[in-house]
Amino acid sequence: MQLTIDNLTKEFTTDAGEHIVALSDINLEIRDSEFICLLGPSGCGKTTLLRIIGGLDQPSSGQVILDNQVITRPNPRMAMIFQEYSLYPWRNVLDNTAFGLELNGMSREERYAVAKRYLDLVGLTEFSQSFPYELSGGMRQRVAVVRALAVEPAVLLMDEPFGALDAQTRNKLQHDLVDIWEKTKKTILFVTHSVDEAVFLADRIVVLSPRPGRICENIPIEQPRPRDRTSVEFAQVRRHVLDLISLK
Protein backbone atom coordinates (compact mmCIF):
# COMPACT_ATOMS: atom_id res chain seq x y z
CA MET A 1 0.00 0.00 0.00
CA GLN A 2 1.24 3.44 -0.89
CA LEU A 3 -0.80 6.56 -0.27
CA THR A 4 0.42 9.82 -1.77
CA ILE A 5 -1.04 13.27 -1.39
CA ASP A 6 0.29 15.42 -4.12
CA ASN A 7 0.18 19.22 -4.13
CA LEU A 8 -3.30 19.30 -2.78
CA THR A 9 -5.27 22.49 -2.21
CA LYS A 10 -8.86 23.07 -1.28
CA GLU A 11 -10.77 26.30 -1.50
CA PHE A 12 -14.31 27.03 -0.42
CA THR A 13 -16.64 29.84 -1.22
CA THR A 14 -18.96 30.38 1.71
CA ASP A 15 -22.64 31.23 1.33
CA ALA A 16 -21.70 34.82 2.14
CA GLY A 17 -19.42 34.80 -0.91
CA GLU A 18 -16.26 34.77 1.17
CA HIS A 19 -13.33 32.89 -0.28
CA ILE A 20 -11.56 30.45 2.05
CA VAL A 21 -8.35 28.60 1.38
CA ALA A 22 -8.84 25.60 3.66
CA LEU A 23 -5.81 23.60 2.53
CA SER A 24 -2.77 24.80 0.68
CA ASP A 25 0.00 22.87 -0.93
CA ILE A 26 -0.34 19.61 0.99
CA ASN A 27 2.25 16.97 0.14
CA LEU A 28 2.41 13.73 2.09
CA GLU A 29 3.73 10.23 1.56
CA ILE A 30 2.19 7.58 3.74
CA ARG A 31 3.88 4.23 3.98
CA ASP A 32 2.30 0.87 4.48
CA SER A 33 1.32 0.14 8.09
CA GLU A 34 2.19 3.61 9.22
CA PHE A 35 0.23 5.18 12.05
CA ILE A 36 -0.08 8.88 11.28
CA CYS A 37 -1.74 11.49 13.41
CA LEU A 38 -2.88 14.66 11.71
CA LEU A 39 -2.64 17.29 14.42
CA GLY A 40 -3.92 20.83 14.34
CA PRO A 41 -6.31 23.29 15.99
CA SER A 42 -9.99 23.29 15.05
CA GLY A 43 -10.77 24.85 11.73
CA CYS A 44 -7.35 24.20 10.24
CA GLY A 45 -8.69 21.79 7.65
CA LYS A 46 -8.10 18.32 9.14
CA THR A 47 -11.57 17.06 8.37
CA THR A 48 -11.43 18.57 4.91
CA LEU A 49 -8.17 16.78 4.19
CA LEU A 50 -9.40 13.46 5.51
CA ARG A 51 -12.62 13.70 3.50
CA ILE A 52 -10.68 14.40 0.33
CA ILE A 53 -8.38 11.46 1.00
CA GLY A 54 -11.44 9.29 1.57
CA GLY A 55 -12.94 10.44 -1.73
CA LEU A 56 -15.95 12.14 -0.14
CA ASP A 57 -14.88 15.58 -1.37
CA GLN A 58 -12.88 16.72 -4.37
CA PRO A 59 -9.70 18.80 -4.09
CA SER A 60 -9.51 22.17 -5.84
CA SER A 61 -6.18 21.10 -7.25
CA GLY A 62 -3.67 18.32 -6.70
CA GLN A 63 -4.53 14.70 -6.13
CA VAL A 64 -4.66 11.76 -3.77
CA ILE A 65 -3.12 8.59 -5.13
CA LEU A 66 -3.63 5.15 -3.65
CA ASP A 67 -1.35 2.60 -5.33
CA ASN A 68 -1.26 4.37 -8.68
CA GLN A 69 -4.97 5.07 -8.61
CA VAL A 70 -6.21 8.65 -8.35
CA ILE A 71 -8.95 8.88 -5.73
CA THR A 72 -12.05 10.70 -6.92
CA ARG A 73 -14.65 8.80 -4.94
CA PRO A 74 -14.84 6.48 -1.94
CA ASN A 75 -12.66 3.45 -2.37
CA PRO A 76 -13.33 0.11 -0.67
CA ARG A 77 -9.70 -0.10 0.39
CA MET A 78 -10.19 2.87 2.71
CA ALA A 79 -12.66 2.97 5.59
CA MET A 80 -13.70 6.11 7.44
CA ILE A 81 -14.65 6.34 11.10
CA PHE A 82 -16.55 9.47 12.07
CA GLN A 83 -16.78 11.11 15.45
CA GLU A 84 -20.55 11.18 15.64
CA TYR A 85 -23.48 9.30 14.20
CA SER A 86 -21.06 6.58 13.30
CA LEU A 87 -23.58 3.74 13.69
CA TYR A 88 -27.03 3.14 12.23
CA PRO A 89 -29.46 3.45 15.15
CA TRP A 90 -32.00 1.05 13.62
CA ARG A 91 -29.46 -1.76 13.31
CA ASN A 92 -28.23 -3.82 16.21
CA VAL A 93 -24.51 -4.15 16.89
CA LEU A 94 -24.16 -7.30 14.80
CA ASP A 95 -25.94 -5.82 11.80
CA ASN A 96 -23.97 -2.61 12.14
CA THR A 97 -20.74 -4.56 12.19
CA ALA A 98 -21.78 -6.60 9.17
CA PHE A 99 -22.97 -3.54 7.23
CA GLY A 100 -20.04 -3.26 4.84
CA LEU A 101 -20.06 -7.01 4.19
CA GLU A 102 -23.78 -6.87 3.53
CA LEU A 103 -23.27 -4.19 0.88
CA ASN A 104 -20.66 -6.40 -0.72
CA GLY A 105 -23.31 -9.08 -1.10
CA MET A 106 -21.96 -11.54 1.45
CA SER A 107 -24.55 -14.06 2.67
CA ARG A 108 -26.10 -13.53 6.06
CA GLU A 109 -24.43 -16.55 7.66
CA GLU A 110 -21.02 -15.67 6.38
CA ARG A 111 -21.14 -12.01 7.32
CA TYR A 112 -22.46 -12.75 10.80
CA ALA A 113 -19.61 -15.18 11.31
CA VAL A 114 -17.06 -12.57 10.28
CA ALA A 115 -18.76 -9.83 12.31
CA LYS A 116 -18.83 -12.02 15.41
CA ARG A 117 -15.15 -12.73 15.08
CA TYR A 118 -14.40 -9.01 15.04
CA LEU A 119 -16.78 -8.23 17.89
CA ASP A 120 -14.91 -10.85 19.85
CA LEU A 121 -11.69 -9.02 19.16
CA VAL A 122 -12.94 -5.94 21.02
CA GLY A 123 -14.90 -7.81 23.68
CA LEU A 124 -18.37 -6.85 22.47
CA THR A 125 -19.75 -10.31 21.72
CA GLU A 126 -22.37 -10.13 24.43
CA PHE A 127 -23.69 -6.88 22.99
CA SER A 128 -24.22 -8.15 19.47
CA GLN A 129 -28.01 -7.93 19.81
CA SER A 130 -27.97 -4.51 21.51
CA PHE A 131 -28.86 -1.32 19.70
CA PRO A 132 -26.53 1.67 19.54
CA TYR A 133 -28.65 3.75 21.90
CA GLU A 134 -28.14 1.08 24.54
CA LEU A 135 -24.36 1.42 24.36
CA SER A 136 -21.93 3.92 25.81
CA GLY A 137 -20.12 6.28 23.48
CA GLY A 138 -16.94 4.25 23.83
CA MET A 139 -18.67 1.02 22.86
CA ARG A 140 -20.27 2.66 19.86
CA GLN A 141 -16.90 3.82 18.58
CA ARG A 142 -15.48 0.35 19.14
CA VAL A 143 -18.24 -1.07 16.98
CA ALA A 144 -17.50 1.55 14.33
CA VAL A 145 -13.86 0.45 14.35
CA VAL A 146 -14.61 -3.25 13.96
CA ARG A 147 -17.19 -2.55 11.27
CA ALA A 148 -14.38 -0.89 9.36
CA LEU A 149 -11.95 -3.73 10.06
CA ALA A 150 -14.49 -6.32 8.91
CA VAL A 151 -14.23 -5.18 5.29
CA GLU A 152 -10.44 -5.55 5.51
CA PRO A 153 -9.43 -2.15 4.20
CA ALA A 154 -5.79 -1.20 3.75
CA VAL A 155 -6.29 2.24 5.27
CA LEU A 156 -8.33 3.44 8.23
CA LEU A 157 -9.29 7.11 8.18
CA MET A 158 -10.36 8.33 11.60
CA ASP A 159 -11.71 11.82 12.21
CA GLU A 160 -11.38 12.61 15.92
CA PRO A 161 -13.11 9.31 16.65
CA PHE A 162 -12.61 9.58 20.40
CA GLY A 163 -13.16 13.32 20.61
CA ALA A 164 -16.58 13.06 22.25
CA LEU A 165 -15.52 10.56 24.92
CA ASP A 166 -14.49 11.12 28.52
CA ALA A 167 -10.77 10.99 29.28
CA GLN A 168 -10.80 7.52 30.81
CA THR A 169 -12.73 5.87 28.00
CA ARG A 170 -10.63 7.73 25.53
CA ASN A 171 -7.39 6.36 27.00
CA LYS A 172 -8.81 2.87 26.95
CA LEU A 173 -9.82 3.13 23.30
CA GLN A 174 -6.43 4.54 22.38
CA HIS A 175 -4.80 1.48 23.97
CA ASP A 176 -7.17 -0.81 22.14
CA LEU A 177 -6.52 0.93 18.85
CA VAL A 178 -2.78 0.50 19.24
CA ASP A 179 -3.40 -3.18 20.00
CA ILE A 180 -5.53 -3.58 16.92
CA TRP A 181 -3.00 -1.74 14.82
CA GLU A 182 -0.20 -3.98 16.06
CA LYS A 183 -2.27 -7.07 15.26
CA THR A 184 -3.58 -6.01 11.87
CA LYS A 185 -0.89 -3.61 10.65
CA LYS A 186 -3.38 -1.37 8.91
CA THR A 187 -2.28 2.01 7.74
CA ILE A 188 -4.01 4.52 9.99
CA LEU A 189 -4.59 8.19 9.40
CA PHE A 190 -5.92 9.59 12.63
CA VAL A 191 -7.11 13.17 13.00
CA THR A 192 -6.87 14.82 16.39
CA HIS A 193 -6.41 18.21 18.00
CA SER A 194 -4.90 16.65 21.12
CA VAL A 195 -1.10 16.63 21.37
CA ASP A 196 -1.32 14.00 24.07
CA GLU A 197 -3.38 11.67 21.89
CA ALA A 198 -1.07 12.17 18.93
CA VAL A 199 2.06 11.45 20.94
CA PHE A 200 0.50 8.36 22.41
CA LEU A 201 -0.66 6.91 19.11
CA ALA A 202 1.49 8.02 16.24
CA ASP A 203 4.55 6.78 14.40
CA ARG A 204 4.59 10.18 12.87
CA ILE A 205 2.73 13.37 13.68
CA VAL A 206 1.84 15.61 10.79
CA VAL A 207 1.08 19.09 12.06
CA LEU A 208 -1.27 21.36 10.16
CA SER A 209 -1.15 25.12 10.60
CA PRO A 210 -4.39 27.11 10.54
CA ARG A 211 -5.60 29.20 7.59
CA PRO A 212 -4.57 28.23 5.13
CA GLY A 213 -3.99 24.69 6.35
CA ARG A 214 -0.43 23.72 5.50
CA ILE A 215 1.80 20.97 6.76
CA CYS A 216 4.19 22.79 9.03
CA GLU A 217 5.84 19.89 10.85
CA ASN A 218 6.48 16.22 10.28
CA ILE A 219 7.50 14.75 13.62
CA PRO A 220 8.53 11.11 13.85
CA ILE A 221 7.76 9.59 17.25
CA GLU A 222 10.24 6.86 17.89
CA GLN A 223 9.26 6.01 21.42
CA PRO A 224 8.76 2.26 21.82
CA ARG A 225 5.31 0.88 22.60
CA PRO A 226 3.46 0.37 24.80
CA ARG A 227 3.87 4.01 25.69
CA ASP A 228 3.35 5.17 29.20
CA ARG A 229 1.73 8.55 29.46
CA THR A 230 3.05 9.06 32.95
CA SER A 231 6.68 8.36 32.05
CA VAL A 232 9.39 10.98 31.83
CA GLU A 233 10.14 10.03 28.21
CA PHE A 234 6.54 10.55 27.21
CA ALA A 235 6.55 13.98 28.83
CA GLN A 236 9.73 14.86 26.99
CA VAL A 237 8.32 13.90 23.61
CA ARG A 238 5.13 15.78 24.31
CA ARG A 239 7.18 18.79 25.36
CA HIS A 240 9.16 18.57 22.16
CA VAL A 241 6.00 18.47 20.03
CA LEU A 242 4.47 21.36 21.92
CA ASP A 243 7.65 23.40 21.42
CA LEU A 244 7.61 22.75 17.69
CA ILE A 245 3.96 23.75 17.44
CA SER A 246 4.18 26.87 19.55
CA LEU A 247 7.04 28.23 17.47
CA LYS A 248 4.61 28.61 14.58
Partner 1 sequence: MRWYLKIISPVLLLVAWEIAAIAVNNEFILPRVGSVFVVLLQPTKDILGSGSLLDNAIISLTRVVSGFLLGIVVAIPIGIGMGRVRWINDMVDPVIELIRPIPPIAWIPLALAWFKIGLASILFIIFIGSFFPVLLNTIDGVRRVNRTWIETAYMYGAKELQLLVKVIIPAAAPTIWTGIRVGFGIAWMSVVAAEMLPGTTSGLGYLIMYSYNFGQVQVIIAGMIVIGIIGLGIDIFLKEVERRKFRWQGLER
Task: Point out which residues bind Mg ion (CB under 5 A).
Answer: 47
Residue among 47 and 86 whose Cβ is closer to Mg ion: 47
Residue among 106 and 158 whose Cβ is closer to Mg ion: 158
The answer to the question of residue 22 lying near ligand ADP (CB under 6 A) is yes
Residues 2-21 that bind ligand ADP (CB under 6 A): 12, 14, 20
Considering the complex, what minimum distance in angstroms separates the CB of residue 42 from ligand ADP? 4
The answer to the question of residue 45 lying near ligand ADP (CB under 6 A) is yes
Of 50, 29, 1, 55, the C-alpha closest to 185 is 1
Number of helices (H), then strands (E), in the chain: 8, 10
Considering the complex, what minimum distance in angstroms separates the CB of residue 240 from partner 1? 35
Note the residue count of the chain.
248
Q: How many CB atoms lie within 10 A of CB 69?
A: 10
Q: Binding-site residue total for ligand ADP (CB under 6 A)?
A: 12
Beta-strand runs (E) in 105-186: 155-159
The answer to the question of residue 59 lying near ligand ADP (CB under 6 A) is no
- Could you write out the three-class secondary structure of 23-72? EEEEEEEECCCCEEEEECCCCCCHHHHHHHHHCCCCCCEEEEEECCEECC
Q: Would you tell me which residues interact with ligand ADP (CB under 6 A)? A: 12, 14, 20, 22, 40, 42-48
